[in-house]
Amino acid sequence: MVIEVNWKTGFEIELMAPIGKSREDLARALADKQQGAVQRFFHPQSEPSKVPGRPTFENLTLGFHLLDAYGQNVASFVDDLTLQADFNRQRAPRPGWYRIIADDARLLRLVIRHCDAALPAGAVLAPLSGLFGTEPLSHESGMYRVEDDRGVSVAICAPLPGERERPCEIVTAPIVTGHHDRLSQLLDEAIAQGFAVPVEGATHVHFDATPLCSAPVIAKLVAAFTKFGAELKQLVGVNTDCVRLGAWPDSLPETTASEKFQALRWPEARKALAALSLSKYCDYNLLNIANENKLKHTFEVRVLPSTLDSHEIVQATSLFEAILAWCCSTASQVEKLPETLPMLLEAAPCSGSTRQHWQEQIAARNRPAPLRS
């Protein structure tokens, strides 16, 4: 059964490289096959800190853009700090791999702006030191520290902890058509290179938020995912080892269900969403919409498991596309939410193949197990 996706979407697929390989190896293998190029860059991340008074350490790790023959970004290959179980921290750092650490994300934005990710550890922070009129201080451990003109630490370049080159989150450029083929090109090579699914792995789907930007549509979306969100997680096989999932705050459905919210023009409705305690780290992420994130203006579905099967990803994406399409239909008024998920799919303006596939999957899940003799 052929299932197509028509919504503009981007994908984040969490994988791990086999021992001895890295995310850079996958990027370069794909570049060789596609007559493209690889561009090294700084990828920002945050991780909890055990230092008193510093709740987080801000990190820059090495990522790799895959560019096509015309210099356009196809995908990026980056670290993901939620992936921990598959990696041996006791292994020695791999030569040439490092991370840059600071306790203020603004300092790392200066690094991204003024420093060259292609440079080795001993040279990469020299431009940052120059901004403070100092020079990087080296340490026998392989670290390089930047201090300001008063001797206060600004940032540190340190060897990357053991095997942290192996986590590989594939972040695709937005895909408008040919979702299956575009994903297959990436994942087939990952399989050929021996990449695997991590213990905590997930796949995130970013749906272009442009069609969703109205108060009635958001009200329908929140109502649908509040009622069917848990069922959808189980239907697509959410990874129970995945971290940074969870429910929306109660204030969200309470707000969007009100007639006052549904009557708002979009700018005012968006501000009402932004005033709530929304988080990126939930099952269905509305934060990029609420904050009007111009770089990633998306509705993010975070409950899909990691997989190397592009067909499986497209099938799951089609399920959520159908629900979003229902949310956008008759958007001038809040339509009554169907009683069951199969009824919602029946009402959704989606392809017959999508509807049939997922209604069969729901029926199979709800079918009683056979009695054992």
Q: Are 252 and 359 contained in the same domain?
A: yes
Q: What is the pLDDT of residue 335?
A: 66
Q: Are 90 and 230 contained in the same domain?
A: no
- Asked if residue 257 belongs to a domain, the reply is yes
- Asked if residue 147 belongs to a domain, the reply is yes
- Asked if residue 207 belongs to a domain, the reply is yes
Q: Are 97 and 239 contained in the same domain?
A: no
User: Smallest Cα–Cα separation from 328: which of 180, 208, 174, 206?
Assistant: 208
Q: Are 249 and 122 contained in the same domain?
A: no
45 Cβ contact list (under 8 Å, min separation 6) = 58, 59, 60, 61, 79, 80, 81
Q: Which structure tokens are listed for 114?
A: 């003024």
Q: Are 57 and 149 contained in the same domain?
A: yes
Domain membership of residue 350 as a residue range = 202-366
340 Cβ contact list (under 8 Å, min separation 6) = none
In degrees rounded to 5, what are phi and psi of residue 132? -105, 5
Q: Are 218 and 353 contained in the same domain?
A: yes
What is the number of structural domains in the chain? 2
Per-residue pLDDT of the chain in tens (373 residues, 90 and over written 9): 678 899 999 999 999 999 999 999 999 999 999 999 999 999 999 876 666 766 667 899 999 999 999 999 999 999 999 999 999 988 999 999 999 999 889 999 999 999 999 999 999 999 999 999 999 999 999 999 999 999 999 999 999 999 999 999 999 999 999 999 999 999 999 999 999 999 999 999 999 999 999 999 999 999 999 999 999 999 999 999 998 999 999 999 999 999 999 999 999 999 999 999 899 999 999 999 999 999 999 999 999 999 999 999 999 999 999 999 999 987 555 568 999 999 999 999 999 999 999 999 999 988 776 666 5
Q: What is the pLDDT of residue 112?
A: 97
Q: What is the pLDDT of residue 48?
A: 64
Q: Are 222 and 152 contained in the same domain?
A: no
Q: Are 207 and 260 contained in the same domain?
A: yes
